[in-house]
Amino acid sequence: MDAHPARRDFDELAKKFDGISGSDISNAMLNAAFKAARLKADILDKLLVFEAVENILASKRANIGQ
């Protein structure tokens, strides 16, 4: 039996969050929520969350390279 679509989304999200701290996750979710508010979105969709996570990961990679 296939997993519920929302379950697959959480599995995909968990893979994105692998290796980042709880505070990074909190920061990513807050940034996604702020962007949703700016866009006047009714929901916080996974694309906004994934984009916020990617921004956190890019920032971490840039800091490692310094």
Per-residue pLDDT of the chain (66 residues; tens, 9 = 90+): 455 555 666 677 777 777 788 888 889 889 999 999 999 999 888 889 889 988 988 888 888 765
Q: How far, in Å, CA of 26 to CA of 13, rounded?
A: 13
Q: What's the total number of domains in the chain?
A: 1
Residue 12, in any domain of the structure: no
Q: Which amino acid makes up residue 31?
A: N
pLDDT of residue 37: 95
Residue 16, in any domain of the structure: no
30-49 per-residue burial string, b: 16 or more CB within 10 A, e: under 16: ebbeebbeeeeeeeeebebb
Residue 11, in any domain of the structure: no
Residue 5, in any domain of the structure: no
**Where do we find the tokens 């679509």?**
5
Q: Which domain holds residue 36?
A: 21-61
Task: Record the pTM.
Answer: 0.72
Residue 26, in any domain of the structure: yes
Residue 46, in any domain of the structure: yes
Residue 42, in any domain of the structure: yes
pLDDT of residue 17: 75
Residue 47, in any domain of the structure: yes
pLDDT of residue 19: 76
DSSP label at 40?
Answer: T
- Cα distances from 18 to residues 39, 49, 57, in angstroms, run 28, 14, 10
